[in-house]
Structure 1
Amino acid sequence: METNYMLPIEGVSDHMTDEARERLLNWRLRAAELAAVSRERVYLNGPDVRQVALTFDDGPDERITPMIADTLTEHGVKGNFFFVGSKVEQYPDIVRRIYKAGHLILGHSYAHDRLTTLTDTELADNFNRTQAAIRCVIGAEPAMFRPPFGDADERVVRWADRAGCATILWSLDTLDWSQKEADHIRRNVDTFVRSGEIVLMHSGPGCFETAKALPEMIRDLQRRRLEIVSLSELLPIPAYLG
């Protein structure tokens, strides 16, 4: 993988205050800096190839997550689900079904925690509980994780590394958490998508517009000859440990 191919993070929302937009831009700068100093451990995007990865945070739930997974399966493409450990324990059958359909089940903390606020002991426990929750359902531990809110620093990255996980951020934010409109979500992808893109979306309650946007988004990407792949295909990282 070309280590110097790092995409600036894109994605816009019309529903943000100037203050919120400034916070977002500052976070994007910090994320790029973190990826630059933590190569091979932190990823914003994949290589310059005609592939993209669609990622979904904050699930599982009993309605939206299955809708999204079923849409991906119906279109013959793979999705990447960053699941919250406590929710994995709550909805094991849904997680197992999505895993058996060939989508990736990855970690997103135990309780959607702001990881930079935790002590080292709390971080170790958080990773252990999240990995264990997923292992108990699918029989494997993820080799990738995403911090909630993208809230990571070098210390969090080190603890992820100790748990055997690369830290996966994103290069295209659909802003489906800000402007919850299917047309806008799809337009963000259509406007900004580039080779090697890692696209951020969400799959929890309140994400119906994301599920609604997905079929046409997939068709848009396929019309542009962009292959939709799993993160383990896009990045030089296995999906699971062992």
Structure 2
Amino acid sequence: MRQLTDESGVDDYPAWSPDGEQITFAAYRVDNWEIYLMDASGENQRQLTINQADDYAPAWLTQDRRLGFTSNRDGDDEIYTVGVDGTNLQQLTFDNALNSSAQWSPDGRRILYLSDDGIAIMNADGGAYQLTMEGSLDYSATWSPDGQQILFTRGFFADAEIYVMRADGTALQNLTDREGEDYQAAWSPDGSHIVFSSDRDGDRDLYSMNADGSNVRQITNTDGDDIAPDWRP
């Protein structure tokens, strides 16, 4: 394990590029969150957004050299995209709801995101539909590598669990089902395993399990909190 950033402030929301050569992340280094990009080695860090609002939760568009992210620059949280060179900013959502945490499907045709009403999917034509309902406390949603399932966290703190469902919202399954905090899960590149953060040993460490929730094993054992894992492609 090695440290990639060492700046004052907070660096969070890391996400690998599809080719595994770069990492995008959000950083709170002065007075707000901004989107950054760096090489996988931690070198060549550069700031992509410059705005007085908060820009955070970046994600890669699978088939393009662009990033999606969440920003409150229009007064509430909406989803935007920007080129990896920081140009060609585009806004994708335009409503009064809080829309965040966009994740592009593996085929690049759909966008998975969080709204006030729960987990939703937006098609390329702009049409959107809900997968989970308002009040279900769902977040950290992510596509399976084949685009057939969606992994997400439901609940907070002592009642946070990791769930999986089909991409149409059916076949909901609780993978962790324990008292405590299991959250921020990510698929392995082949979809056979899931890595996640858990407080089951007293503090937050990283664990892995099979895609069906079996064979849980601890990966890290540090004094600090290990959170927001993302598997390198």
Question: Does TM, normalized by the shorter one, top 0.5?
Answer: no
User: What TM-score bracket applies, with the shorter chain setting the length?
Assistant: under 0.3
Structure with the higher strand share, 1 or 2: 2
Normalization by structure 1: what TM-score? 0.26
